[in-house]
Structure 1
């Protein structure tokens, strides 16, 4: 189901079975450059009667905020009477339960946890308020359904950054079409004090090499090969850029680097990555409507001529019959025949 014009090499596997689980590899080689790369994917196929819990692998949070720990599970098991949800945090190799939900009742443990899930929608998420750096660690969400007594666990790594740390936030990927203007977002924390000046650099990685596409330092900006425009605002910790008239060769992995220099303190640096995918414009569809006849079609000229000839023949025959009937039994000297008159052309429309 892929499309080489859009660099899409996807496939589907129909009637999938549990024994189709495994590690899959997609290899792409382009010629004549003979460039080759590989992507890996782990496929887990579960029976419809099995319970599967889904959580993100890793999440980042800022200290002092309220953060959601998402957890969802399969809704394909029939006959479930009630559900038990338990959240644990692993500290120094020990498990500490921080939340428990069962039979519509919830109980809280050391963290400021709040239930935001909905078992009718197979959602077992919670939020943790006023989260701190010491709350970093490995969390897991355990779901048990009864009376089947089926249990499954989802794991999540939570990293809580201090408010005084430099942390960059960028989206994982950005999609754009050829000829458009792509906005590459990048933000960083605004809680750092004693800043002398800030250095912002954007890079694009091509063939294992870094190409600098933008740089701003001491409020001086320098542009590089592409049509890059600064749309950020350092007062709001926004260091975003745009790329105009983007083309397919502009696709790649971009890196946003922010370095903060402080008075009498070490400098701080963080990096955010963004994958830019550039697609061709979709082909325009033919929007011309097919005309629908609203009345009977007019007869063609050929049909009109044929009808006219038939009418003329019938009229001549009727005239001949009338002459014979009127003149039968009368004797009259035969007059010489008049020369035939030239036939007038018929009206082609009847």
Structure 2
């Protein structure tokens, strides 16, 4: 009898343990379900001038109200290194810079506005590498940190953002640190333009598109051995696009006229007054190998041609593609002339 009772007791004990396991599993799953993800947004690439201040933008989305427990950690992984090193921590209104950028890094964000940006002064060539922004907003502690591939480029004449040769293509900001060059960009944006949606003969395609491309009405004239910037304005009328691709061609009538492809994917919704390229997106730039030492791009899709030569003259075609709008296409002409003696301007226009 005792042995039988012991057997029943053993079975009950085993059954009790078996009944307890699902309860623990459910509690574990419920606990995980209460942890939400923080969605961190950073640009994919950023190019800054040597010796200037860089702002590393980082924003985030969280389902929770931002509290005093929220924190931001910035890490840096130098080119050639395999290990990222944390160098900046921010929490509860206080910044804690690490040793590497201790005297040069500063807080530039506002957690109440879900902005976790920082600034680094006096950028040097050895500061190039991958910068990572990681945001925690308990209980939202899970998420993928944002990564920025930062390139430090040589300062050109008059403090410009250009360098005659680049080891690889980079995406430049739409504004420069130099007032001289910003004045030049302002001049470019005010040139007489034609609209691919309304101007006769300004579109490469016969099918109308919701995307309108504005290009210079007259030839752009650049001096040989200088830098040319070809402006273009893209008006994407639908705010709910998911991706945009911009293709640049130098139309020579050959099969190898393709130059580059610039893309923005998994973008946030455009806010009122925001440009299409100011949305938080994953950016990429693919340049044909033959042009990698020759061309680059600005965030607003303006084409940059370094060390202009006579064979760079001709027609340039820009094509814009999107997921929910028909393709758009337009073109412009570039003329190349002999450099004026004593001229210091990187490019001039007719």
Higher strand proportion (structure 1 or 2):
1
What is the TM-score normalised by the length of structure 1? Answer: 0.41
Higher relative contact order (CA 8 A, sep 6+): 2
Greater Rg by CA: 1
What is the TM-score normalised by the length of structure 2? Answer: 0.41
